[in-house]
Amino acid sequence: MNKHILHVVGARPNFMKVAPVLRVLQEDDGIRQTLVHTGQHYDANMSDVFFRELDLPEPDINLGVGSASHAVQTASIMLRFEKVVLEDRPDLVLVYGDVNSTVAAALVCAKLGIPVGHVEAGLRSFDRAMPEEINRLLTDQITDILFTPSVDGNENLAREGIDSGKIHFVGNVMIDTLIRLLPRATDVSTRRFGVLPQQYGLVTLHRPSNVDDPVMLQTIMDTLQKIATQLPLLFPIHPRTRKRLQEMGYQITNSALQLLEPLGYIEFLALQKNARLVITDSGGIQEETSYLGIPCLTVRNNTERPVTITVGTNTLVGQDMERLKREVNRILGGLYKEGSIPPLWDGHAGERIARIVTQQW
């Protein structure tokens, strides 16, 4: 009898993580797969474009939950997903990353006694003010099989009392997708935005701690305008950030800071690959820049991905804008660290997950 594996995704950073796992499992005739999209992200440029570019199949089911408060969003996913699980009775559910969709789906499965695996387990920022940290802690406590991207993940899980037999260090699935699509990320995109390779910086900011407080957001934006006088900046704007800037009526006076719509995966990858530096508060981008060897300045006080600092090209600048400017100058002056690629970020994490799933479950 075919084994039935159901994958749950919901928000932009989930899509590049599910793609390699789904792809490898597709080659196994003994496995039937279902892809559920919770609808946490729904705009075409936050969702559809990724399905197309990553060659993901159309979701079999879209729960259509949309945006809401954390409680409402998480609860709506649970209510709708429980029906799917009761009807489909999958043999294993796989959840990805640390978004609200991840914890909601894991909790439904744990209560129904359906085995659930967490891809990207064990990461910890030790900052419970971050919604994602709560999602990570809870998900890892209630999942049956935990796939870690780096050894710090194993250490964190061991400290939290998770049975070592459930934990598998498989490497970084997001890097599988990056390696597969890198050849398609040409420098056409840099020309489209009127900048030259190595002569611009790329910015993304969407964390509530940076964008939900108008004073903080204003300080960050003013600093970016100053940095843009030295190095043109491209800033594809997350809908959360755009909304906040509109509410504040923020005006950009330096045209060297270009605000763009959210970009697709391949175009954004091309912009990362060709950038002189990246300024971000995203988790995934800290990893992608480390793989690509591009200096990354992270506007956060902590990271759940410490390997990007100890091994990769990442530096935490906190919310200290003077520090951000100093680090930009160090990079422009050629004084920044080189970094290397963390272990098992090799393009084969999806295969390792598939092997464990097929052999042990």
Q: Which residues are catalytic?
A: 206
CB of 135 to ligand UD1, least distance (A): 6
Instruction: Give the nearer residue to ligand UD1 in terms of CB position, either 23 or 238.
Output: 238
Is residue 243 at the binding interface for ligand UD1, with CB under 6 A as the rule?
yes
State the residue for tokens 């991207």.
149
Dmax (CA) of the chain:
64
What gap in Å lies between CA 127 and CA 28, rounded to an integer?
40
- The residues in 60-89 that bind ligand UD1, with binding defined as CB under 6 A, are 67
- The residues in 4-23 that bind ligand UD1, with binding defined as CB under 6 A, are 11-13
Is residue 137 at the binding interface for ligand UD1, with CB under 6 A as the rule?
no
Is residue 327 at the binding interface for ligand UD1, with CB under 6 A as the rule?
no
198: three-class secondary structure by DSSP:
coil
Quickly list H helices, the chain.
12-26, 48-53, 70-88, 100-112, 131-142, 151-159, 173-181, 188-192, 208-211, 214-227, 239-248, 265-274, 283-292, 307-310, 321-332, 349-360
For the beta carbon of residue 71, count every other beta carbon within 10 angstroms.
9
Instruction: Give the nearer residue to ligand UD1 in terms of CB position, either 12 or 118.
Output: 12
Pick the piece of the chain touching ligand UD1 (CB under 6 A) from 145-153, 182-190, 232-240, 300-308. 232-240
Pick the piece of the chain touching ligand UD1 (CB under 6 A) from 37-45, 108-116, 263-271, 301-309. 37-45
CB of 189 to ligand UD1, least distance (A): 20
Is residue 326 at the binding interface for ligand UD1, with CB under 6 A as the rule?
no
Say if CB 40 and CB 124 are below 8 A apart.
no
- Side-chain-side CA neighbours of 89 within 13 Å: the count stands at 2
Is residue 230 at the binding interface for ligand UD1, with CB under 6 A as the rule?
no
Give the x-and-dash track for 88-127 against ligand UD1 (CB under 6 A).
----------xxx---------------------------
Residues at the site binding ligand UD1, with contacts judged by CB under 6 A: 11-13, 40-43, 46, 67, 98-100, 131-132, 206, 238-240, 243
